[in-house]
Structure 1
């Protein structure tokens, strides 16, 4: 929950809400299992407590900035992002986020870039992120996500996506995510939808630390 105001100056809000970088991750986060690339760094994640967010929409450019006043000492964070929309359906986005991890616990930062292209009922999106998950522990990360969506009818669409994430700690690299997704989605109304999603997991059991299995998910979703 958050409160805010909106006017010619843009929008300003405070509370539990998305940080600035989420508008970039949303460019490829259109599936059921997608979007985890924003979770590497708290300052770039969604639905974060004590977040101050500012947004301003120019004619073809969307600017967002955020600041996290964390309850924990020395754990504040900030983010800045922008998306330029060309007149022929191409969107280009770039964002940066950083936050401390607590007293004497180091810090984390992230650069995230995104592309989106809309052509009628077809949409393509891609994001790439890289940064330090914990500079004190020397843990770095990279992530890529590509997705496509085709609206067959007004109510029904097909979504396909691929995601890969890696973390490197002291020159040892492990996959954190590696999967393909195929989803069918049916919208009953603007707020109510159903979906059937299949996730083909390509992670190695050793990297995951558990027995990796594919996933099928059937669900209903209502947005208030």
Structure 2
């Protein structure tokens, strides 16, 4: 059989930069922040026996600071195989918990990102990931993290989800995930999201503990978004025991791929001064 060397290749990414006014408890200051700006290549190749090869190589690029080796960081980078059995990835992949929570976090990649209070937002190196085929709207997902060395510890992130994250094929999107010894923590998280007319509502419950300890911390999150013409108005409240984070903001769509935004986040953390941030920024997505 003769194969062609040509294959589909997509170059993609986004530039997201904001001017921010920050008060982190010891005085206020202004800054320019690059909010997970990124670039990457991805593609897929049809194989024999109904199989498809997938790949993605993505990097985070700091557009605001000259920070040496930290200016470019690896994001998800993997090769995968898809078929009737589902999809199998090997390489560097977001955990099931992180992936299934992304659509509920309205301030993802900003200071209101749920990762600042909760454990579980992990990108897993040296990992094997499986995503099942659709079974009446349900999917089963699994990450296995290898030890990596004789002194390392393996870990797992598993989840069950229903619906699709963009709510195009179902009115509800829900998930339940469990992490075991991922970066030293065990976590459990349940989440649900639904859309009612121009409103988007989300809720999450979360529990975490260090893998070698018995004491755990719990928290919850609620968020709401309202779409009106080119505007999206959004708010989010998150807790972890006595720690709270509240965020409000608005996005204005300038075109298919470009938006400007403003947001404000305040964090009230146990035994530390309150922190707050106010940002005005622009985001542009590109793809060939």
What TM-score do you get using the length of structure 2 for normalisation? 0.61
Tell me if structure 2 keeps the 8 A contact 1:144–1:165. Answer: yes
Would you say 1:131 and 2:215 are equivalent positions? no
State how 1:12-51 maps to structure 2 within 5 Å. 12-31=88-107, 32=110, 33-36=112-115, 39-40=118-119, 44-51=120-127
Structure 1 residue 152: Cα displacement: 1.1
Q: Does 1:183 align with 2:210?
A: no
Alpha-carbon spacing, 1:179–1:37, altered in 2? closer, same or farther (3 Å): closer
Deviation at 1:190, TM superposition (A): 5.2
Question: Which residue does 2:269 correspond to in 1?
Answer: 203
Separation (CA, whole Å) in 2 of partners of 1:190 and 1:76 = 42
Corresponding residue for 1:171?
none
User: 2:237 maps to what in 1?
Assistant: 162
Structure 1: runs of 5+ lacking an equivalent: 102-106, 167-174
> Larger Cα Rg: Structure 1 or Structure 2?
2
Question: Matched residue of 1:62: which SS?
Answer: strand
Residues 22, 38 of structure 1: 8 Å contact kept = no
Answer yes or no: is 1:146 the counterpart of 2:228.
no
CA RMSD of aligned residues (A): 2.7
Measure, in 1, the Cα distance between the counterparts of 2:182 and 2:176: 21
Q: Aligned pair 1:96/2:178, yes or no?
A: yes
Q: Which runs of 5+ in 2 are unaligned?
A: 1-76
* Separation (CA, whole Å) in 2 of partners of 1:76 and 1:34: 27
Residue 92 of structure 1 deviates from its aligned partner by 2.6
Higher relative contact order (Cα pairs below 8 Å, separated by 6+ residues) = 2
Secondary structure of the residue that 2:132 maps to in structure 1?
strand
After TM superposition, the score normalised by the length of structure 1 is 0.77
Alignment correspondent of 1:62:
139
Runs of 4+ aligned structure 1 residues displaced above 3 Å come to 85-88, 187-193, 221-224
Please state whether the residue corresponding to 1:36 is helix, strand or coil.
helix
Q: SS of the counterpart of 2:100?
A: helix
Q: How many pairs align?
A: 201
